[in-house]
Amino acid sequence: MKSSFVLAALVASAFAQGIDIGAPVEYSNITPGSNITVEVDRPDTLTGSTPVALVIAIESCTSYPDGQCASVDVTQRLQHILYTGSYDPVFDTPSDSKPPHQNFSVQIPSNLPQGQAAITASHFSLIGAGPFPNLQVVNVTVNVV
């Protein structure tokens, strides 16, 4: 019974350290060759964690049978890497309603075909006093126009 409780607490702690993509928003229009800002949010938590690294990528979904990103798990492949490096989310100002976040200016590949694409953020962090490693992958679907 105790081991089940400890496992549940660790899983809850890991999800509390999660990231979100704050921008671009779901189904935004983007243009091949353009620069966009990807905002990666990390909600403030009481559990100690250390962000280690972040990878931002984009994958076209046009090669999938129905051309829709929702029909496949786009978190398993990183087609075009847009950013790799450190991640240090901060509050903009004390009165800002946004969670701690960091903005990344990335260039969309000029050869990205029109249709749906998935922007993916893969975040590696160390959680807790142990610490233990945690990898989280999130994505948003955008329209390449």
Question: Which is more confident, 36 or 51?
Answer: 36
Residue 28 is part of which domain span?
2-144
What's the angle, vertex CA 125, arms to CA 94 and CA 60, rounded to 5?
A: 95
Ordered alpha helix ranges (H), the chain = 2-16
Q: pLDDT band for position 46 (50/70/90)?
A: low
Task: State yes or no: pLDDT of 9 exceeds 50.
Answer: no
CATH number of the domain residue 19 falls in: 2.60.40.10
Task: Please state the domain count of the chain.
Answer: 1
Task: State yes or no: pLDDT of 117 exceeds 90.
Answer: yes
104 vs 110: CA distance, rounded Å? 18
Give every strand in the sheet of 35-41, ordered side by side: 20-23, 35-41, 101-107
Task: State yes or no: pLDDT of 2 exceeds 90.
Answer: no
What pLDDT is attached to residue 95? Answer: 63
What pLDDT is attached to residue 53? Answer: 95
What pLDDT is attached to residue 34? Answer: 97
**Residues belonging to the chain:** 145
